[in-house]
Structure formats: C-alpha cells, structure tokens
Amino acid sequence: MRVFTFLIPFLAAVLSSLVVSAAPLRLALNWKPEPQFGGFYAAEPHFKAAKLNVEILPGGSGTPTAQMLPAGQADYAIVSADELVLAWDRGSKEVIAVFAAFQTNPQGIMFRTNKNYDSIDALLKDKDSTLLWQAGLPYAMYLQKKFGKPLAKTAPYPGGITNFIGDPKINQQCFVTSEPLTAKKSSLDVRTFLIADAGYNPYTTVLVTTKKRLQENPAEVRAVVAAVRQGWADYVKDPAATNARMTKLNPAMDLVTMNDSAHAQLDLVQTAETKTHGLGVMTESRWQTLADQLFELKLVKTKVPAKDLFSTLSK
C-alpha cells in the first residue's frame, strides 16, 4: 500500500478545497425580503443545482451592504448604482457590479389624480402644494438642477403615507412599487411620475461582489449570476410561490401586497433591452451617464470611469 502514500497530500488538499468551497456564500440584501428581491429568492433552487451554497442575509434601513463586502461580512451584496459610484469616489474601489435587476429605477413622486399635473416640472412649480422628499438625495438634487428650485413648499419625508392621507395638498416621494399601492388600499386615487422619465435612472437592486473574487473565482461569479438571472426569469413569469415564502420571512408584508408589488415592478425589470440581451444587463453608457450626472451635481470629486464599476463577465 505504500505505493499510494504519495496521494495522501494530494487528496488532503482536494478535500480541504472542497470544505472551503462548501462554506456559505453570503448574499447581503439592503432591505427586508420583498418583491424587489424576489428573483434572488427564486434563484435558490438554481444555486443548489449549480452546487452553490448561498445564504441570503435580509437587511434593513441603513444596512451598509457596500461596506460589508470589503469588510468580509458578505461575499455578494445588493446596492443601488449611485451608491456604488459614490463609494468608488470615496475610495472603495474594490466593489464591482455584475447584475442589475431593475433596469428602470422605481423612485417616483406620488400625487392625487385630481391635481392633473402633466409633468414633474408642473408638480414642482405648484405653489399651493407641499412636497415631502429627501432633498439631499441624488435624485432630488438632479431634479432641482434640471427644473430649478421648487416653488412648492418642501419638507423632509418622514416615511409612510400618513401625512399624504391627511393633507390633500401634499405630494411625496415614493417607490412606485410600494407607497402608491398603500394609498390605493386607503381608497385614494393616485398617480406617480417616475424620476427615470426626467433623465435620472440609475440601475438599482444591483448585485455586486469584490474585484478580487471576480479575478480569483470567475467561474463561481458566473455561476452565481447565471442562477440569479434564471431566478429572476422564474419570478417575473410566476412570483406566487416565492412571494408566499417571503411572507413567512417578512410577515409585515401580506401576500396580496407582495403580489401587487411584484406586478407593479414587472416593466421595471423587463425592458426592450433585457428582451434582447437578457435580464440584469448593464451597459457602459448607462453607467457613464450616471457617473457624469453625479459629477455634475458635485456629489463625486472625480469623473468615475464606468468600466471600473461593472463587469459583463464576458472575459
């Protein structure tokens, strides 16, 4: 049997590598389990089929997912595209985007239908209204640069729609997949303007990892992205089973709301571009436009090169 003893170190090394690869890959979300993450939960059987042990970590308000990657607290994470550009400018250049679930950003401004606004510009210039928003966010700064300082009264957005319900003069920021649904449940007839239609449209629900991981484990990253893409394809086709599971993980959102939200986001996830190039597609021109907009708003000090922010995994 001594003739086979030379294999022992080799086998030990192989087994050691298998143990390492079996460790969970931690995917950190930046909010609770809701339809905006439906495709990631729907990807779980595809992770298993690819022999990927992925653990999805729910987040909450202020979860620092972009910082969790370089800190070693997660292997993959969800961020918004503008968050990634801002992080790059502040020195965190090791994070890279590999998949963008939302092609159209869901940020919007909600108002009562009877106001008959025909544009965001008209809404901002309504002197008889009050706009609740976070004026320091990039989208708000973009709107003020494009349309000028609002003539409407403005106040900080406190969250929820309680103030909106109580005062018909109030308009407010929203996610078109959330607050308008809540308003309709309160028997309010509302409309929304997408910020994206005004020209500020960062990808969101963006899957990121580290450049080191992409360089050292390209096959793993490709497998994760392939599973995520299939998960999103499954979810947009039929979200019912995944939504039922997410209600158990997040009892604060009932199944009806889950289903309504999943339906509301369909056209934000699926676009003409995804039908040609696949779900999650990203382009250099979109990233560069965003980086340039943030530079013009003086939110970043340097012109961030788009090619450093994302990978198409084509190499």
Average pLDDT for 195-202: 99
pLDDT at 61: 87
pLDDT at 23: 78
Q: Checking DSSP bridges between strand 107-112 and strand 130-133, what pairing results, if any?
A: unpaired
- Both structure tokens of 221: 């990253």
* Sheet hosting strand 170-175, strand order edge to edge: 153-156, 130-133, 170-175, 107-112, 190-194
| Spatial separation of the C-alpha atoms in residues 273 and 288, rounded to whole Å | 17
pLDDT at 7: 39
Task: Check pLDDT > 60 for residue 18.
Answer: no
Percentage of the chain modeled with pLDDT above 70: 92
Of the two residues 3 and 199, the one the predictor is more confident about is: 199
Domains in the chain and their CATH numbers? 24-104+202-308 (3.40.190.10), 107-198 (3.40.190.10)
pLDDT at 314: 61
Of the two residues 254 and 62, the one the predictor is more confident about is: 254
pLDDT at 1: 35
Would you say the C-alpha torsion 234, 237, 241, 244 has a positive or negative sign?
positive
Would you say the C-alpha torsion 176, 179, 183, 186 has a positive or negative sign?
positive
